[in-house]
Every structure is written in structure tokens, then in C-alpha cells.
């Protein structure tokens, strides 16, 4: 069975491009264009196998809040956070150390523009392929 | 709210120092033009050397400085302050009120001159002048800083707005280059269309930006002439006829044949064009646009209504600011820069007018612009009370 991926981003083009790239890599894609839309999706008891979440949407920290929400509902659901913040400000996040893991509820952090190969590697790792 | 100014009196006569302290410590001066009261707290120094120490440690706002002092003279202290780049409003006091001393002191940065002996009324009069000078200067400074900050914010948002379509197009081109959806070019139609939409948006942003700079640039002279509104609206409707036809939208306008307004043609065109193109863009296929222009008292009222997607109340509030775009399901594929309405808003101010919107979500929006029919020729800065103007006013 195809794995189901939830992509949350307010950037239509980013979602569109991931959709093209991932459908080709044999995934089913569900989309949400805001934190609110994603939360509605979760409240309707949809359960993806992995979520890709943008950091800045309605608010600058929407992604963090959404991650928290996702993990509270499905503790084992892997989340990859993507953001252009690093590229624009040089401010780098990482979810590798235990201290970061304590407050960033994401399993991986990728900087936009993302490299597809790297994304696929992270997805495979988190999906246990 | 009262402003407290720190005053330093430097004089070797103890009677003079305590006299000034007594008068100023007890008085409150009202500055009606600044809508504020001013009071003072006075510190005393018996020599220029001690005065300098106090100036550096306490940073007083106003310095009342005797000319003739033992040791360093008043003029020498003034020169020292200029050297040290200490900005303090200084009033020279001297018993030998000669023209030369006054000229010399002003040359060295003194603000004004007080001839001894002076009355409490004379002192208060001078303090009133000095206080309002300081307040005007502060106001001008904070205005200039505010302006600088706004400019910076504008540029950083602009950079972001220009970068994001480039990133999107880059992503699409990579998809095509890597043949992600196979060799058949037909599979990439959506990708190419989307790239073109983003390119179109970027082009629009650059054009709107040019419009905005043309309005805000100091070089351009506004040329107010009697403009026929019927012709102006018709010109705009003709310009957008093609895109209206594309979306199957019918455009009607109702403007009296001989109605005119004293306006700058370019400015009026930008306002009307923005409203008309928005009404077409944010409409639904088969929708309608109604434009009406009428005279109401001293105002010309331009109304542009559409049967489009409309807006929610919280969206309407943000509408006239730079780079605000309403983002939702319906606007996703509509090209816009977020500068159109904010530009219209800025122009409307030049005609002592206002812009408002009445909108119902998913039913349509009505934009109303009111412009003074006979607005007088004014310069760019007149409506924004520039720092220079405030400075000039105090002279």
C-alpha cells in the first residue's frame, strides 16, 4: 500500500512541486494550506504516515505549534519541518540534539530550497524503509 | 503630559544662579502649539570647568551660560562642547551685551542671547522659545527615524516578494529539466502555466513599484488640470476590455458626460485602473462590474462594484497597506502585487479624499473613492508633515 504524506504549507507552488516529485516516488499526498486547515484534517481523524510542515504560515511559529498538535494526537507520526528562515536570516534550527528535541517536536529539519534527494533520504529513514 | 527639562545654570554670581533656579523651578510653561506643558529642574555650577563636568554626567537639555567667568570663559566652553560633539541648547547671558559677543556665541553654536539684567518674564519668554525648539527637534527626529524604519521594512518585504516567484519558477524548471513526469512535454503543462503566472505576478509587481516610485519621487511635478471623468473611465474600461472578455465579465459605467475633476492625469489613471482591474480580477466568470462617478458636494465620488469573491471583515481591515494580499482558495491563481490598493490609498490622500470598501464574502465588493473636486496644488511632503517642514517652522 502506498504511504500517505501530509504536506502543510501556505506556498501553493511548494506544495505543487512536492506533489509532483512525491507522487512519482509512489506516495499518496494530502495537502493543507494553513495550520488551521491541517488541524481540521487531523481532527477528522485522518492519519498520514508522515507529515511535512512549513514553519512560517499564518504566524511565524505556526509550524512549531502544528508539530506539537500532531505529536499530541499521534505520538509516533514522523514530522519533517521545512523552512526558508535559515536561508533568509541565517538562523539555523536543528532537531538533532536532545535539547532541541525537547522543544522542537519535529524529527528532521530541512532548509528551503530543499534538495529532493535529501528529502527522500529523510523520508526513507523516518518511514523505516 | 508635562515635559521635564533639565537646566544647567553656569554663572559665578551665586545670586544670579539661585534667582534663576527659583524662577524656573516654580514655573510651568504651557506650549499650546505642542499641546503640552513644560517644567524645569535646575542645577547650578559656579565655573565653566564644573559646568562641563555636570554636562557630561547629567546631560542637561538647556544650558544657561554666563559669558564672563573666572578660568575658562563661556565662549571657550561653547567651543569645547562643539569639539566634543555635545548637543545642548545653549543660551548665553552677559552683562556686556555687545553685538560682537552675540555674533561670536551664535557662531559657536549658542541658540540665543540673554542680556543682563533681565526680568523673570524675559527669562520665561526665552525658556518658552527654547523648550518648543527642543520639542520640535525631537519630533522631527522621531519622524525621520520612523520614515527610515518604514523604508527598511518596505525594502525587506519587497526583496521577499521578488525572491519567492523566482524560487517557485526555479523549482518548476528543475522538475522539467529532470523529466520528473516523463518525456512527454504535455505532462508539464500545469507546471509551465504556473511558472507563467508567477512570472506575470513578478512583472506586475515591478510595474506597480514603478507607479509607486513615480508618485513618491520628488522629481515628478504634479500637473493639475481639468480632467473629464467620463473619458478617464472609458479609457480604463477599454484598457481592460480584453481581460474582461477573457473572463466573460460585463463592465458597465455611468459617468455624466461633462463631469470634470482637477487632477493629475497619471494619478487619476492609476487610481481608476487599479480599481477596475481588481474588480475584473477578483470577479467570477460571467460576473459584472459597475462603475459610477458622481458629484457630491465638494467631492467626486467614484464607485466600483463587482460580483466577485468578496472578503471577510478581518481581510478588509488590512487591505490598504503595502504588500497585503488576501490569500485564500479563490485568490490562489490571481496575479497581484499587494501594492495596487496601497498606492491608490496614498494618491487619495493627495486629493484630501478617502477610500473605503464594502464587501460581502463570496458575493462581491464595492470600493468607494472620494476625491476633492478642486484640490489645490501641493507638494509631496505637504500631506505627511515632513521633518524639514517642522524644522523650518521653528525658525
- The rounded distance, in Å, linking the Cα atoms of B246 and B231 is 23
**CATH class of the region B223-376:** alpha beta
Fold of B2-118: Rossmann fold (3.40.50)
Name the pLDDT band for B219 (thresholds 50, 70, 90). Answer: low
Q: B140-221+383-395 has which CATH code?
A: 1.10.287.130
Domains of chain A, start order: 1-86 (3.40.50.2300)
- The rounded distance, in Å, linking the Cα atoms of B266 and B291 is 19
Report the 10 Å Cβ neighbour count for B72: 17
Name the pLDDT band for B383 (thresholds 50, 70, 90). Answer: very low
Q: How much of chain B exceeds pLDDT 90, in percent?
A: 51
Q: Which residue has the cell 503595502?
A: B322
Of A17, A24, A112, the CB nearest to B172: A17
- The rounded distance, in Å, linking the Cα atoms of B123 and B373 is 49
What is the least distance, in Å, from the CA of B326 to any CA of chain A? 12
Q: Are B94 and B115 within 8 A, CB to CB?
A: yes
Strand partners, B289: B251, B306
Per-residue model confidence (pLDDT) at position B315: 80
In the predicted model, what is the mean pLDDT of chain B? 86
CA atoms within 13 A on the CB side of A111: 10
Name the pLDDT band for B249 (thresholds 50, 70, 90). Answer: very high
Contacts of B259 (CB under 8 A, 6+ apart): B228, B229, B230, B293, B294, B295, B300
Using a CB-CB cut-off of 8 Å, the residues of chain B touching A24 are: 180-181
**Where are chain B's structural domains?**
2-118, 140-221+383-395, 223-376
What is the least distance, in Å, from the CA of A17 to any CA of chain B? 7
Residue A114 has which C-alpha cell?
A: 530543499
Does pLDDT of B337 surpass 80?
no
Does pLDDT of B392 surpass 70?
no
CA distances from A107 to A2, A68, B310 (A): 21, 12, 40
Question: What does the pLDDT look like over B45-95, one tens digit per residue?
Answer: 999 999 999 999 999 999 999 988 899 999 899 999 999 999 899 999 877
Per-residue model confidence (pLDDT) at position B380: 47
**Nearest 5 degrees, angle CA B41-CA B42-CA B47?**
155
Per-residue model confidence (pLDDT) at position B94: 79
Residue A127 forms contact with B (CB below 8 Å): no
- The rounded distance, in Å, linking the Cα atoms of B332 and B203 is 17
| The most confident of A86-90, B96-100, B269-273, by mean pLDDT | B269-273
Per-residue model confidence (pLDDT) at position A47: 93
The interface pTM score, or ipTM, of the predicted complex is 0.79
Per-residue model confidence (pLDDT) at position A77: 94
Worst-scoring range by mean pLDDT, A110-124, B274-288, B328-342, B348-362?
A: B328-342
Report the 10 Å Cβ neighbour count for B110: 22
Which residue of chain A is at minimal alpha-carbon distance from B178? A21
Q: Are B6 and B62 within 8 A, CB to CB?
A: yes
Residue A124 forms contact with B (CB below 8 Å): no
Question: What does the pLDDT look like over A16-55, one tens digit per residue?
Answer: 999 998 887 789 999 999 899 999 999 998 999 999 999 8
Amino acid at each position: 500500500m502506498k504511504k500517505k504524506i501530509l504536506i502543510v504549507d501556505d506556498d501553493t507552488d511548494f506544495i505543487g512541486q512536492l506533489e509532483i516529485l512525491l507522487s512519482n516516488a509512489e506516495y499518496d499526498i494530502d495537502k493543507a494550506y494553513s495550520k488551521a486547515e491541517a488541524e481540521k484534517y487531523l481532527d477528522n481523524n485522518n492519519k498520514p504516515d508522515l507529515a511535512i510542515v512549513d514553519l512560517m504560515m499564518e504566524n511565524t511559529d505556526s509550524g512549531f505549534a502544528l508539530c506539537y498538535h500532531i505529536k499530541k494526537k499521534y505520538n509516533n507520526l514522523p514530522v519533517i519541518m521545512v523552512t526558508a528562515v535559515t536561508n533568509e536570516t541565517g538562523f539555523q534550527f536543528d532537531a538533532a540534539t536532545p535539547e532541541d528535541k525537547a522543544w522542537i517536536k519535529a524529527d528532521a529539519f530541512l532548509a528551503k530550497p530543499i534538495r529532493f534527494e535529501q528529502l527522500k533520504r529523510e523520508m526513507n529513514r523516518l518511514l523505516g524503509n | 503630559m508635562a515635559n521635564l527639562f533639565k537646566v544647567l545654570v553656569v554663572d559665578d554670581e551665586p545670586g544670579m544662579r539661585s534667582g534663576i533656579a527659583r524662577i524656573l523651578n516654580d514655573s510651568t510653561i504651557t506650549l499650546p502649539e505642542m499641546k503640552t506643558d513644560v517644567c524645569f529642574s535646575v542645577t547650578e555650577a559656579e565655573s565653566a570647568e564644573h559646568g562641563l563636568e555636570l554636562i557630561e554626567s547629567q546631560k542637561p537639555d538647556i544650558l544657561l551660560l554666563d559669558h564672563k567667568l573666572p578660568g575658562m570663559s563661556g565662549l571657550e566652553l561653547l567651543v569645547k562642547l562643539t569639539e566634543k560633539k555635545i548637543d545642548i541648547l545653549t543660551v548665553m547671558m552677559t552683562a556686556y551685551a555687545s553685538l560682537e559677543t552675540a555674533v561670536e556665541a551664535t557662531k559657536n553654536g549658542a541658540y540665543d542671547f540673554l542680556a543682563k539684567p533681565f526680568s523673570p518674564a524675559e527669562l520665561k519668554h526665552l525658556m518658552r522659545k527654547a523648550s518648543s525648539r527642543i520639542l520640535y527637534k525631537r519630533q522631527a527626529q522621531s519622524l525621520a527615524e520612523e520614515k527610515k524604519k518604514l523604508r527598511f521594512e518596505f525594502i525587506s518585504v519587497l526583496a521577499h516578494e521578488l525572491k519567492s516567484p523566482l524560487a517557485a519558477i526555479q523549482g518548476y524548471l528543475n522538475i522539467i529539466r529532470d523529466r520528473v513526469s516523463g518525456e512527454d512535454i504535455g505532462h508539464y503543462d500545469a507546471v509551465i502555466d504556473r511558472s507563467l503566472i508567477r512570472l506575470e505576478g513578478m512583472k506586475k509587481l515591478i510595474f506597480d513599484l514603478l507607479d509607486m516610485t513615480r508618485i513618491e519621487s520628488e522629481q515628478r511635478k504634479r500637473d493639475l488640470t481639468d480632467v473629464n471623468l467620463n473619458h478617464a473611465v472609458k479609457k480604463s474600461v477599454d484598457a481592460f476590455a480584453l481581460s474582461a472578455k477573457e473572463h466573460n465579465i460585463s463592465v458597465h459605467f455611468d459617468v455624466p458626460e461633462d463631469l470634470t475633476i482637477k487632477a493629475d492625469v497619471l494619478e487619476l489613471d492609476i487610481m481608476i485602473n487599479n480599481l477596475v482591474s481588481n474588480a475584473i480580477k477578483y470577479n467570477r466568470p460571467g460576473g459584472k462590474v459597475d462603475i459610477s462617478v458622481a458629484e457630491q458636494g465638494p467631492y467626486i465620488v467614484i464607485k466600483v462594484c463587482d460580483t466577485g469573491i468578496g472578503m471577510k471583515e478581518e481581510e478588509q481591515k488590512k487591505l490598504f497597506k503595502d504588500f497585503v494580499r488576501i490569500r485564500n482558495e479563490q485568490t490562489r491563481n490571481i496575479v497581484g502585487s499587494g501594492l495596487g490598493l496601497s498606492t491608490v490609498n496614498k494618491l487619495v490622500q493627495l486629493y484630501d479624499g478617502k477610500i473605503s470598501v464594502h464587501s460581502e464574502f463570496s458575493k462581491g465588493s464595492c470600493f468607494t473613492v472620494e476625491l476633492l473636486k478642486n484640490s489645490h496644488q501641493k507638494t509631496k511632503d505637504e500631506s505627511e508633515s515632513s521633518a524639514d517642514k517642522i524644522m523650518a517652522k521653528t525658525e
